[in-house]
Amino acid sequence: MMPLLTTKGLSRNFGGLRAVDGVDFALMPGEIRAVIGPNGAGKTTFVSLVSGRIQPSSGMIVFDGADITSLPAYARVRLGVAYTFQITSVFANLTAYDNVALPVQRTLTDGRSKGAVHAGVMAALERTGLADRAHMQAGHLSYGHQRLLEVAMGLALKPRLLILDEPTQGLADSEIDNFIGLVREIANSATVLLIEHNMPVVMQLADRITVFNAGRILAEGTPEQIRANAEVQDAYLGATHG
């Protein structure tokens, strides 16, 4: 089977700092892949390169067999790469409804979905449990609900690859349980790349885990392999979470 996403020698410098350093990475369709690593390891920078939010210093990104390295971010979204932000960045002054309507109408314009905007919006809000808050201003939602709205916007893009950057950060335990169910459901129709600090969530969800450290991939394997890996223990699992 051909990987959905491949990166070759992907690097990004910020001044003298090599935030992402020659990363070779491959992701199979249908997988839930967790990316873990200490703060500052380059996880957010890596997925930002994949989504096109920032440009690589060198290296190559292949999505579904096509070189997308030089495509602008909006074009990658239209191919099915959706990115949800680590720092919640919903449109605070718009309603939850309008926040989700934007991605829904995009997929309708691109012919990647059919039907009315309204139906698409309500479907995405229902999947994330926000339907009864559709007409609330997004900035007035609780933090947890804003995180969910961020996921609803990602879902509404009908992604083939959904990138979630620390989606459970700041969520209550009860909200996290619901969230795990939601990601499992999303994974039925999309490949999921999940950056996550919460190890129980990672262990429950991930098919495979990639460990980042200092801009490089330190280890990769099944949850059991990663748990047993001594290097990972030293670099990350033993250390306190940042």
Ligand X SMILES: Nc1ncnc2c1ncn2[C@@H]1O[C@H](COP(=O)(O)OP(=O)(O)O)[C@@H](O)[C@H]1O
* Contact with other proteins (CB under 8 A) among 64, 98, 207, 220: 98
Q: Identify which of residues 38 and 91 has a Cβ nearer to other proteins in the complex.
A: 91
Of the candidates 141, 159, 157, the one whose C-alpha atom is nearest the C-alpha of residue 149 is: 141
Site string for other proteins, 155-174 (x = CB under 8 A): --x-----------------
* Contact with other proteins (CB under 8 A) among 73, 187, 199, 214: 73
Contact flag: residue 97 with other proteins (CB under 8 A): yes
Contacting range for Mg ion; rule: CB under 5 A; set: 84-92, 120-128, 142-150, 215-223: 84-92
Q: Which residues are CB-contacts of 235 (< 8 A; sequence separation ≥ 6)?
A: 37, 38, 211, 213, 218
- CB-CB contact of 57 with 9 (8 Å): no
C-alpha 151/C-alpha 167 separation (Å) is: 8
CB of 85 to ligand X, least distance (A): 12
Contacting range for other proteins; rule: CB under 8 A; set: 62-70, 101-109, 176-184, 217-225: 101-109
Centre a 10 Å sphere on the Cβ of residue 238 and count the other Cβ atoms it contains.
9
Q: In what order do the strands lie in the sheet with 58-63?
A: 17-27, 5-14, 58-63, 66-67
Handedness of CA 109, 113, 116, 122 (dihedral sign): negative
Site string for Mg ion, 20-59 (x = CB under 5 A): ------------------------x---------------
53 binds, options ligand X, Mg ion, other proteins, none, Cβ within 5 to 8 A by partner type: other proteins
Q: In b/e form, how buried is each residue of 16-28, taking b as 16+ CB within 10 angstroms?
A: eebbbbebebbbe
* Contact with other proteins (CB under 8 A) among 49, 77, 161, 194: 77
Q: Identify which of residues 8 and 78 has a Cβ nearer to other proteins in the complex.
A: 78
Where along the sequence are the contacts to Mg ion (CB under 5 A)?
Answer: 44, 86
